[in-house]
Structure 1
Amino acid sequence: MRLTILLIIIGLIGYIINSGPLGRTNIIKLFISIEIMLLGVTLLIILSGYNNDDILGLIIGIIVLIITGIESAIGLTILVNYYKIKGSLPTNI
């Protein structure tokens, strides 16, 4: 439980630092922060399902992990194609 809250807080802090007036926006760091938050939420769902002997929580956790993996693959594909076209990645927006 503490690990999941820690992961969510770390991801949220990373997202806040990398967006808005506190710093320049870095696309890669934003993706990583969002992935860390999703990992924390997924771990919380899986642990809750395991503690309550609820198979539905485990199934939802696995589905969220699959969707997160697909989202990461699509984001990285977009970045790779952008790099192929432009020759460099804009890390700061």
Structure 2
Amino acid sequence: MNLSLILFTIGILGFVLNRKNIILMLISIEIMLLAITFLVLVSSLSFDDILGQTYAIYIIAIAGAESAIGLGILVAFYRFISFKSIHLSFSQAKSPIKALNIIPSGIRNYSTSKPLNSVWTPSLSERGVKIL
């Protein structure tokens, strides 16, 4: 029980202290979720109940799927915008949309001027899009 409390506290501290890095925030949330899962598992073992162990398996499976989807979305978002860091300042912003102040470092051009099927497509600079 003390180990799960220590893990949950480490997850909260990691979430609070690493507010600029989204990946570390996701890892901290996963640590908190695994601490709760460990608490459910230990309590089910101490009460000799199989239901808590079943819940722990479900929580671990759902957490794995959730982290894979979240990390995939984050990688796609990073490839599209290529942000450096994220500043969460909900107290200073007037709306929740402006609270996420993402610092972009430019849009990367991953397209080539000649694809593999030898059909020519113009690149972003040839289309008139200004790259920062």
TM-score of the two chains, using structure 2 as the length reference: 0.60
User: What displacement does 1:29 show?
Assistant: 1.0
Task: List structure 1 runs of 4+ shifted beyond 6 angstroms.
Answer: none
Cα distance in structure 1, aligned partners of 2:34 and 2:85: 23
* 1:5-47, Cα deviation, whole Å (9 max, x unpaired): 110000011111123xxxxx21011101100000100000011
Unaligned runs of 5+ in 1: 20-24
Matching residue of 2:14: 14
Aligned-partner SS, 1:92 = strand
Q: Which has the higher contact order (CA 8 A, sep 6+)?
A: 1
Point out the structure with the larger strand share: 2
Q: In the alignment, which residue of structure 1 is the partner of 2:76?
A: 81
Structure with the larger helix share: 1
* C-alpha RMSD of matched pairs (Å): 1.4
SS of aligned partner of 1:91: strand
Whether the 8 Å contact between 1:35 and 1:68 is mirrored in structure 2 is yes
Which secondary structure state, in structure 1, belongs to the residue aligned with residue 86 of structure 2?
A: coil
2:107 corresponds to which residue? none
Separation in structure 2 between the aligned mates of residue 90 and residue 35 of structure 1, nearest angstrom:
23
Asked if the contact 1:26–1:91 (Cα under 8 Å) also holds between the matched residues in 2, the reply is: yes
> Offset at 1:91?
3.3
Deviation at 1:89, TM superposition (A): 4.3
Aligned residue number for residue 22 of structure 1: none
Q: Does 1:68 align with 2:56?
A: no
Larger Rg: 2
TM-score (norm 1): 0.83
Q: Which runs of 5+ in 2 are unaligned?
A: 88-132
Contact 1:8 1:40 in 2 (8 A): yes
- Counterparts of 1:84 and 1:32 in 2: how far apart (Å)? 20
Q: Offset at 1:65?
A: 0.7
Q: Quick one: which amino acid aligns to residue 77 of structure 1?
A: G
